[in-house]
Amino acid sequence: MVENRSDTFEIGGEETVHRLGYGAMRITGEGIIGEPEDIENAHEVLRAAVDLGIDFIDTADSYGPGTSERLIREALLSDPEYRDRVLIATKGGLLRQPSTEWLPRGDPEYLRNALLCSIDRLGVEQIDLYQHHRPDPDTPFEDSINTLAELQDDGYIKHVGVSNVSVEQLDQAREIVDVATVQNEYNIVNRNDEEVLAACENYDIGFIPWYPLAAGDLGEKADVIESVADEHDASRYQIALAWLLEHSDVTLPIPGTSSIEHLEANVAASAIDLTDEQYDRLTS
């Protein structure tokens, strides 16, 4: 039986979750706009994720917008069988446009309203992990983080995270609030934020790599990944996930899918043990 065999990480030093999570962006409609074509399938994928041992689900108010959060409430948080088995992380700070644009909005008034809307859509009194989605060039970064710190003090947020930040911005945020997680683009092909990951390791902060499978574009790594995949009778995407789990003890990959079959394949990657030689080949 497929089950999540990844080891665990304590978010904020308090919330223990398996390191392989699930990203809930793809359960929305085409272009990450509106409802999916099959709402019940989205519900089934979310419940299947928890049944397979995933206890960390990441979403954002901009996915839909609002659709992903509502689906999570309907499938999980309104059901006593599931609501206490999963930690939900969401994000605010991007304004979704029908033209597919994602516009940074980090001003305090916007973030306060976004947080309250997320609480309403999720049907909770407190967000487990609330992340600032992207620094806004028109708003001082400190103002955005101060707003989240105030909302945490008011009891609306349990843990604060940041996303798409540099090491300098992470340090700025840490001077204001206890940062539980960082979510940046990172995968076996794109390791531009290695310094941010190293900082997270140093501070014992969870590092959530978005785009963990590079949307299947494995570039110059494709051949070596394929060879290791053959050695494990696995897919190259499973090897890319296994590498992320092996690469650092603080990584929390959140591959997303709208397919139960793909979900099961992603979870199965948590059982792949790379040899030192295989890891070195993939990393070099």
Residue bearing tokens 């101060």: 146
Residue 153 · residue 176 · CB < 8 Å? no
- 249's tokens: 């003890």
Q: Choose among 9, 23, 12: nearest CA to 158.
A: 12
Asked if 63 is an active-site residue, the reply is yes
* Alpha carbon separation from 105 to 94, 141, 152, 154, 193 (Å, rounded): 5, 11, 19, 21, 23
Q: Choose among 183, 184, 141, 181: nearest CA to 161.
A: 181
**How many CA atoms, within 13 angstroms, populate the side-chain half-sphere of residue 267?**
24
> What H or E segment, with its residue span, contains residue 8?
strand 8-11
CA end-to-end span of the chain: 33
Q: Choose among 165, 167, 147: nearest CA to 157.
A: 147
Q: Go through the chain and tell me how many residues it has.
A: 284
**Annotated catalytic residue within 22, 63, 130, 237:** 63
Residue bearing tokens 């995270």: 161
- Positions marked active-site: 63
